[in-house]
Amino acid sequence: MKTTQPNRTPSRSSQPSPRGLRVRRRADRERGFTLIELLTVITIITILASVSYTGVKGALYMAKMNAAMQNAKQIGNGLRAWAADYDGIFPGEMHPVTEEEFSSANDVFAALLPSYIDTERVFPVAGCAWGSRADGRFEEESDRLKAGENHWAYVAGLTTTSMSDWPLIVDGTNGSGQYVSQPNEKGGVWEGKKAIVIRVGGSAETVPLLGENDERYIPRIGYPEENALDVSSYMGKGVTLMEPED
């Protein structure tokens, strides 16, 4: 007896019609992205990420500068407290009692410890080539503000009756009273854009720098074409800019 084999040839009705294929392809296109659409989305995400990074970087820059300015104001308060004890005279190039010569801003500021300022933490600025970290040791005079522990420059030879808008404390410069754009170099912590200035009268501000390339400078109030740190040209004899010690 013969066994009848089932017919395995698909019937015409089981095969998708051309119209069905077109509908399916259209549905597939509607569910997925084309290459152009995908590239467009990636581009938009990249742009948004770049904008977000720039905004965050700018916010961190301003926060760091504001924190540094608050520290500089504390140093200014210490200098004014010193001046109150010495007939209105800010520290000069020599200690008025010990007659020890001050050769750098570190020497001057170390004389404020601990009587007028009780911490070294206000002197360094993170990332500064002059001084990015202080060890906090100042009980012994030899430990106070060693080289590399101070960021700030100081204008020595002024008094509380000097012009109130003259600079008293500023960011450490490149060694010649100017600033640079490279943040890892001396005078470049703010990338040549701004500088922090504490003035004789006690005001504190961030000042936009002027000048070309790596010869940026703090403009003198009223005379913006002049460098405010060219102190000998307008502050008189006995006034000098003291840089940090590295």
pLDDT tens track of the chain, all 246 residues?
445 555 555 444 455 555 555 555 555 555 556 777 777 778 777 777 666 656 677 788 999 999 999 999 999 999 999 999 999 999 999 999 999 999 999 999 999 999 999 999 999 999 999 999 999 999 999 999 999 999 999 999 999 999 999 999 999 999 999 999 999 999 999 999 999 999 999 999 999 999 998 899 999 999 999 999 999 999 999 999 999 998
Structure confidence at residue 45 (pLDDT): 78
The residue to which tokens 């760091």 are assigned: 64
Q: DSSP letters of 118-144?
A: --STTS--TT-SS-S------SSGGGT
Structure confidence at residue 34 (pLDDT): 75
pTM: predicted TM-score of the whole model, two decimal places: 0.79
Structure confidence at residue 185 (pLDDT): 97
Structure confidence at residue 231 (pLDDT): 98
Structure confidence at residue 180 (pLDDT): 98
Element (H, E) at 175: none
- In our burial notation (b when 16+ CB lie closer than 10 A, e otherwise), range 179-202 reads bbeeeeebbbbbebebbbbbbbee
User: What is the 3 state secondary structure string of 39-99?
Assistant: HHHHHHHHHHHHHHHHHHHHHHHHHHHHHHHHHHHHHHHHHHHHHHHCCCECCCCECCCCC
